[in-house]
Structure 1
Amino acid sequence: MRIPGKKALARAFRPVQSFVAPGGLVLGYHRVSDSGWDPLRLAISRDNFTNQLEHIAERYTPVSLNSILEGQKRGQNLKGRIAITFDDGYDDFVANALPELARLKIPVTIFVTTGYEGKPFWWDEVCHALRAGNRSTDRLVIDFGSAGGRVVLENLGDEKFARNAARRICDKLPFVSPAVRSDIIAQICEANSDKLTEGPIPCALTHRQLAEIASYEFAEIAAHTVTHPMLAEMTAVDQRHEIQESKAVLESLGYRVLGFSYPNGSYTPESIDIVKESGFAYACTSRQAIVRRGTDRHALPRIWVPDVGGGKFGRWISSWSGLRY
């Protein structure tokens, strides 16, 4: 049941809850980039990321995710401890995030989607094709077939409309079959095949880049499925393949894989059981909350970091950590 004002009440209560019952924080990131075109709001600017890390290093205790879990197991006070995580496994992590993490000696866990090695994720293909400078026409009709009929996108030469169109399409595509999704992406790209030149398209990490990250002594490589699906929409058989195959691929490359992250924050109790059965020591969700003594380590909450720096970031993280800014 939807309760009017529930989210506002939760925001108001959060600072009180954080100070009265503090715990550890697991921060979630996707990308660090100054690309300028980020309709899904996945990126943090390089300057803001550096500022955030310096603030964390100065005022908090940055630790590995496994360290937070070990402290939880021992019943230790987790207040002030912060773990950094990255989802998906973008290749610009190597140039834009890893150097700053290494400079400040801050541990990091990177959850890797194994099926896209060196290639763009499907949502980035959509965003790239709908970028205003890549448009051959201001209007596009997309046929979702039985999965959603025809969708008309207009005024795509305007960046605001193009951004909203990208979000609209990317919100729908996780819930269609891979075949339908590929067909829709092809429709979008073919409509602009002569103009897809504006700006680079981000890609997933290569195995060589993964090895470079793993050589950093504070980095942990973890699993994030093969194709980044909505696990809650899948059969148990298909979930098991996505979860176990991603672990197997990373282990075949020589990594010890202890952690998992549920793509899109989508999972069911059955998903958790499969993750446990697959030998993962922990798994992260997209639910925003603090890690406390009784938190389920196979459904760990994370706090998704906004693209802000300075005092805004200081006040934001203070509201979660329970430490005054």
Structure 2
Amino acid sequence: MPGKKAIFAKVMRAIGLPPIVTRMRSLVCDEVTILAYHRVLDIADETAYPFDPDLISASSADFRWQMAYIQKHYTPITFGRLLDCLDGKDTLPPRPIIVTFDDGFDDNYHFAFPVLKSLGVPATIFISTGYIDQPRTFWFDWLYYLYNMAAASPVQPLSFAGASFSLSRDPARRQEITANLYNHAKRLPDDVLRTEIAALEKRVGVSYPENGFPQSRPLSWKQVREMASHGIELGSHSVTHPILANLSETKLHEELTVSKARLEHEIGQPVDIIAYPVGYDFAFNEKVIEAARKAGYRLGACYLPGINRAKQMDLFRLKRLHVERYVDRSYFQTMLALPEFFS
């Protein structure tokens, strides 16, 4: 049965209210909306897809529709322009919106970038620099793959860092279990997390293919540079995508400064913005924010849902609206028009 929010969104769209509410809202609310995406990808059969389908924010067709919609009803900007406004060099346009991507999967280049370029919509990609140009995918997608491989084996259940997880090939049940696995993994000390993933590889008996997986591949630096040359803004997402709040001060400083320096070297532009990996309240704290300031960042985006009031903006806790694969066109329109109802 559809959720109440989805039903409400369909009713709103059916009577044509979202664009009207959006225009009325902009007359009384001075705010900046930030959208959070991960991947744009088309998969024909979820049951045969070995990686995390919840990282897919939209199909290529839905993403094109979404970008055309915000181009018509909002003013897409970059964080660079937002900083100019904060510095008094510019003023915010009507209904400003920022499109962001986390991690740095190569479908950002193959499927999202052509749409953004053709529509003239700017976007920001937050990149975990240690994965770029590497065959290995991001640790969280690899962990999902290992779970899938374990579920196809006779081993029951899966043990990970002192916790036990049942195995299932049913898509709905699998997503529920892997969500619990992720929540457990994300709260581990970073060195323990990496050790446990390596140990799980051995237990499942899976070795990483030399050329990686075409369905879950990081960007290349060549792709990053090309996108930067065509107006895509780059931000840091650390080096190895750790939970920053779990790191020592030394390791935290390294993750923040090395990623920033590498990006600036590759694109020849300053990098002033970071998105905290995972980005929920357990993943960053005052220690992380202070370290980000010291590393030279001027803005920090989290993954807490919501919008940002222009005159009360918390520059290192910028909230974002999540675009997920269940977000249909009605939901997308209404979420932007009434973000409080969907946050």
Give the TM-score normalised by structure 1. Answer: 0.82
Tell me what 1:111 maps to.
Answer: 126
Match of 1:209 among 223, 246, 260: 223
Question: Aligned partners of 2:139 and 2:337: how far apart in 1?
Answer: 35
Tell me what 2:32 maps to.
Answer: 24
Cα shift at 1:77: 5.5
Tell me what 1:279 maps to.
Answer: 296
Report how many aligned residue pairs link the two structures.
Answer: 301
Tell me what 1:241 maps to.
Answer: 254
Match of 2:265 among 247, 252, 273: 252
Tell me what 1:175 maps to.
Answer: 187
Cα shift at 1:319: 1.0
Residue-by-residue CA offset, 1:199-238 (whole Å, 9 max, x unaligned): 854122121221222221x211111111111222223222
Question: Aligned partners of 1:230 and 1:45: how far apart in 2?
Answer: 28
Q: Quickly say closer, same or farther: Cα 1:98–1:288, change in 2 above 3 A.
A: same
Match runs of 1:13-92 below 5 Å = 20-35=28-43, 36=46, 37=49, 39=52, 41-43=54-56, 44-74=58-88, 76=91, 79-92=94-107
Cα shift at 1:132: 7.0
Q: Quickly say closer, same or farther: Cα 1:77–1:152, change in 2 above 3 A.
A: closer
The alignment-based identity, stated in percent, is 26
Residue identity opposite 1:297 in structure 2? L
Q: Is the 8 A contact 1:80 1:321 kept in 2?
A: no
Tell me what 2:314 maps to.
Answer: 296
Question: Aligned partners of 2:71 and 2:150: how far apart in 1?
Answer: 40
Q: Quickly say closer, same or farther: Cα 1:101–1:77, change in 2 above 3 A.
A: closer
Two-structure CA RMSD over aligned residues (Å): 3.0
Cα shift at 1:152: 3.8
Cα shift at 1:18: 5.8
Q: Is the 8 A contact 2:188 2:246 kept in 1?
A: no
Match of 2:239, SS? coil
Q: Is the 8 A contact 2:39 2:105 kept in 1?
A: yes
Q: Quickly say closer, same or farther: Cα 1:280–1:238, change in 2 above 3 A.
A: same
Cα shift at 1:22: 3.8
Q: Quickly say closer, same or farther: Cα 1:247–1:160, change in 2 above 3 A.
A: same
Cα shift at 1:131: 2.9
Question: Aligned partners of 1:183 and 1:237: how far apart in 2?
Answer: 20
Question: Aligned partners of 1:99 and 1:113: how far apart in 2?
Answer: 22
Consecutive unaligned residues of structure 1, counting only runs of 5 or more, are 1-14
Match of 2:138 among 103, 110, 121: 121
Tell me what 2:233 maps to.
Answer: 220
Q: Quickly say closer, same or farther: Cα 1:297–1:177, change in 2 above 3 A.
A: closer
Q: Quickly say closer, same or farther: Cα 1:196–1:246, change in 2 above 3 A.
A: closer
Match of 1:280, SS? coil
Q: Quickly say closer, same or farther: Cα 1:40–1:272, change in 2 above 3 A.
A: farther
Match of 1:100 among 96, 108, 115: 115
Match of 1:125, SS? helix
Cα shift at 1:40: 6.2
Match of 1:293, SS? helix
Tell me what 1:164 maps to.
Answer: 176
Q: Quickly say closer, same or farther: Cα 1:187–1:252, change in 2 above 3 A.
A: same
Cα shift at 1:303: 1.6
Q: Quickly say closer, same or farther: Cα 1:189–1:133, change in 2 above 3 A.
A: closer
Give the TM-score normalised by structure 2. Answer: 0.78
Match of 1:263, SS? coil
Residue identity opposite 2:196 in structure 1? I
